[in-house]
Amino acid sequence: MNIEIQNFDPSDWAAIRQIYQEGIETGMATFETRIPTWDQWNRSHLISCRLKATVKKTLIGWAALAPVSTRDVYRGVAEVSIYITSKYRNSGIGKLLLTKLIEESEKEGLWTLQAGIFSTNIASINLHKSVGFREIGFREKIGKLNNTWYDNTILERRSNIII
């Protein structure tokens, strides 16, 4: 399988939105219940570090970063979003995307990436750990989705390059 990892732009939004919707439908990828508009999503994510994975020009996964704060002291800290279409989950696409996202984030001067993952989403937790994230804690019953409380496992990766 020939997988390409590239930056994405607004023209990719329809495919990204579809994969994001699949993630919502799993009930374990996000607390979002509906897809934001492109403008909403675009305003809440960094302009850099927006990656897509494609196979034969078909978008099969994406990753992006959102700032954790507008305060200058946190300018090097961002939260990871990563979604893979159901057909390609557990095939190594996530690891390729996340590895490239780390590389790109360090080029942009980011020193810490963090992720808050449903504690039941073991595959995503293991994916993040496989590329150097470490578990730093969890938030018990942090969000209620479809009348069910969920815990989040908190992970972070500190750059070895930006010190």
Domain residue spans of the chain: 3-116
Q: How confident is the model at residue 163 (pLDDT cuts 50, 70, 90)?
A: confident
> Does the 3-116 domain belong in CATH 3.40.630.30?
yes
pLDDT digits (tens, 9 = 90+) for 26-36: 888 888 889 99
Give the single-character DSSP code of 73: G
Pairing of the two strands 112-118 and 77-84: parallel
Q: What is the pTM of this model?
A: 0.94
100-127 in b/e form (b: 16+ CB < 10 A) is: bbbebbbeeebbbbbbbbbbebeebbeb
Q: Which two tokens stand for residue 53?
A: 């994975």
Query: pLDDT digits over 129-159, tens only?
Result: 999 999 999 999 999 988 999 999 999 999 9
Radius of gyration of the chain (CA): 15
Q: From residue 163, how far is each of 54, 79, 109, 157 by CA, in Å?
A: 33, 19, 10, 13
- Report whether pLDDT(104) > 80: yes
pLDDT of residue 26: 87
